[in-house]
Amino acid sequence: MAKAKKQVEQAENAVETDVTAAAIDAAEQAETTVSEKRTSDTVAKAGKRSAKAIAEAEEKVAKEERKAEAKEAEDKPKQPVKPARSRLERRGKKYRDAAKHIETGKQYTLKEAIDLAIKTSTSKFDATVELHVRLGVDPRQADQNLRDNLVLPHGTGKTVRVAVFADEDVAKEAKKAGADIAGSDDFLVQLDKGVIDFDVLVATPNVMARLSKYARVLGPKGLMPNPKSGTVTTDVAKAVSQAKAGRVEYRVDSTGIVHLGVGKVSFGNDKLAKNLEAVVASIKGNKPASIKGTYVKTVTLTTSMGPGISVIASEIA
């Protein structure tokens, strides 16, 4: 009996010993895990193995690689850079051949410029001879915003379609004077439909109020009648005959330059010279009184698609 009791006690002690050992092992393992985690966290936040330090090291290596590549590129022989072509070199063959007749940097007299303009016209059609005059005016000033109209002695060489908007009786007179289109209410009906098949529009003062609603359509096209251009008048027959004869209007642009067609190449020297004389006289006669410096700065004569010819400014000034 005593022996059996002793064996039971020994068994209980052995179980307690095993449980205690297992608990100790679990505690030691947990402590080791916590210690390793703390060590890992410490390394991740600071030191050479931290995320920041690793990123900086990688960036430094990449920077060194870029420097090496740049140095290698510098050591390579550079390819010669082809210079950009001039504006003349980018032009067509006909234009370049025509430009050879014009001496670079030279200014010609008006007569010489007319001869050269006819000679250097490269277009297959009857080109327009254009005059471009840069004036020493300030278009922002009302008294220097140069504008005028005149009848060229030999016309412009263009077929001009003239329309007249007036009362019925005046419209009939305009038709007799040579107007291509003349009418009153029927004319407005055509404008409502967007039909604009004329180059010049003449109107009488008493009907301008009815025409004002079409200013947004006619204005940008340069067709809105204006007293300064002679297209708002009571003498409709005279306005029609002048428009048909070759009346032109010029006005300085925002940069102070007058652009005007003065005839066709087919006119020849004499007719072009007389047309240019009329334009020059008009520009001289409209010199603003407030101009104190140089009035005419540069003058260029050219043709449609042809090279520009520099003219002596004193020929116009």
283-294 confidence digits (pLDDT tens)? 999 999 888 889
Angle between helices 236-245 and 168-177 (to 10 degrees): 30
Average confidence (pLDDT) over 42-53: 66
Q: Which two tokens stand for residue 30?
A: 């947990």
* pLDDT at 32 (0 to 100): 59
Closest of 234, 176, 169 to residue 202, by C-alpha: 234
pTM of the model: 0.66
Mean pLDDT for the chain overall: 83
Task: Give the C-alpha separation, 211 to 234, whole Å.
Answer: 16
Per-residue pLDDT of 48-88, as tens digits, reads: 677 778 888 888 888 888 888 887 777 777 677 778 888 87
Percent of the chain with pLDDT over 90: 30
| Local confidence band at 46 (pLDDT 50, 70, 90 cut-offs) | low
pLDDT confidence of residue 274 = 94
User: H-helix or E-strand containing 32?
Assistant: helix 2-45
Alpha-carbon gap, residue 178 to 241, rounded angstroms:
7
Residue 276 — pLDDT band, cuts 50, 70, 90? very high
15 confidence band (pLDDT: 50, 70, 90):
very low
Q: How would you list the strands of the sheet with 309-311, edge to edge?
A: 257-264, 128-135, 296-303, 309-311
Q: Which of 21-35, 92-106, 177-191, 230-244 has the lowest mean pLDDT?
A: 21-35
Confidence at 212, pLDDT banded by 50, 70, 90: confident
Out of 23-37, 62-76, 95-109, 298-312, least confident range: 23-37
